[in-house]
């Protein structure tokens, strides 16, 4: 087999893994695909040689590409109205095995991705590559242009922020599902008290309409304010909600004219809904993808 054909075959073998790396770094399926394609172009132009360690080499390349993308889009986000939420990964409610769904949620839950978006690009690269994919700090240091010791500090700061700000979802998907079902039932029936009971007292309700329109608004926090918002603004949509898996956790989609209009992600912690993420950006809702089997 010719060397270029072998490289192409090996790259295709690693594509799903690389796509998972890029999605966790960027929070966008479309941008992750662009990053992976750019990695192939660089591999095609510059053969690293040898037959071992190609995954590690490609991981570093994807990390560099994603770092550049994160830096270039950071200034644009400062003008974004509402909350920028990640591009959701939606699958059927029956999904994969519960074990696989938990692994997926642990890596790319919406609440985690929202916190990652608030990190600096270098912090995000260091945390994701080390804590999720086990890349050594000396390799990450080459990507972010820092010393290994400073890179370790970047990851440590990111880790502290993630632990402080990203709710840890319940490991039991059945518990999560019951909370979401109770939420949808209360919303459909207009039962304010039932809604409040299923919501965490500090629940946060975030909106992403692509930076424009009625969803370009700040988050709402607190069980009663969120319940009032659900019943005033979303009561007419509740009967249309269809249960799905969103980023490894129970969620819902709402269709209009047979096409998805909104994706709703839920973070359930201690049996209560701690976060609701409503994504109505047509660029994100118009396509659904699945990332599985892509952990290191």
In angstroms, the CA 141 to CA 231 distance is 49
Sheet holding 199-208, edge to edge: 90-92, 241-246, 249-256, 259-269, 272-279, 199-208, 220-221
Please, where in the chain does CATH 1.10.10.10 lie? Answer: 110-166
**CATH fit for domain 1-79, picks 1.10.1740, 1.10.10, 3.40.50, 1.10.3470:** 1.10.1740
Residues of the chain with CATH 1.10.1740: 1-79
- The CATH-assigned architecture of domain 173-285 is Roll (3.10)
Range(s) within the chain of domains with CATH label 3.10.450.50: 173-285
Question: What pLDDT is stored for residue 287 in this prediction?
Answer: 64
Show the DSSP H helices in 27-79 as ranges: 29-45, 54-77
pLDDT tens, N- to C-terminus, the chain (296 residues): 588 888 899 999 999 999 999 999 999 988 999 999 999 999 988 877 766 778 999 999 999 999 999 998 877 766 678 788 999 988 876 545 554 455 455 557 888 999 999 999 999 999 999 999 999 999 999 999 999 999 999 999 999 999 999 888 898 889 999 999 999 999 999 999 999 999 999 999 999 998 888 888 999 999 999 999 999 977 677 788 899 999 989 999 998 777 888 999 999 999 999 999 999 998 898 765 555 444 44
- pLDDT, position 93: 63
The CATH classification number of 110-166 equals 1.10.10.10
């Amino acid at each position: 087999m010719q060397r270029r054909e072998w490289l192409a075959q090996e790259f295709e073998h690693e594509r799903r893994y690389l796509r998972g790396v890029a999605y966790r770094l960027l929070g966008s399926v479309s941008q992750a695909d662009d990053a992976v394609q750019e990695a192939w172009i660089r591999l095609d132009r510059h053969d690293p040689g040898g037959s071992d360690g190609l995954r590690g080499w490609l991981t570093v390349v994807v990390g560099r590409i994603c770092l550049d993308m994160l830096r270039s889009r950071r200034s644009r986000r400062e003008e974004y109205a509402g909350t920028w939420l990640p591009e959701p990964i939606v699958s059927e409610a029956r999904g994969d095995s519960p074990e696989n769904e938990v692994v997926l949620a642990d890596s790319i839950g919406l609440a985690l991705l929202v916190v990652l978006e608030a990190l600096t690009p270098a912090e995000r690269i260091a945390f994701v590559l080390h804590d999720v994919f086990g890349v050594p700090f000396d390799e990450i240091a080459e990507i972010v242009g820092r010393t290994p010791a400073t890179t370790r500090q970047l990851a440590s700061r990111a880790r502290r922020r993630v632990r402080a700000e990203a709710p840890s979802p319940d490991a039991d998907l059945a518990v999560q599902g019951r909370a979401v079902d109770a939420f949808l039932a209360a919303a459909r029936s207009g039962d304010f008290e039932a809604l409040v009971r299923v919501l965490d007292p500090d629940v946060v309700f975030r909106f992403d309409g692509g930076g424009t329109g009625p969803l370009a608004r700040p988050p709402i926090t607190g069980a009663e304010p969120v319940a009032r918002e659900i019943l005033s603004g979303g009561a007419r949509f509740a009967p249309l909600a269809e249960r799905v898996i969103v980023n490894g956790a129970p969620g819902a989609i709402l269709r209009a004219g047979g096409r998805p209009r909104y994706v709703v992600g839920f973070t359930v912690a201690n049996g209560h809904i701690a976060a609701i993420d409503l994504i109505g950006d047509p660029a994100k809702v118009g396509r659904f993808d699945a990332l599985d089997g892509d952990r290191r």
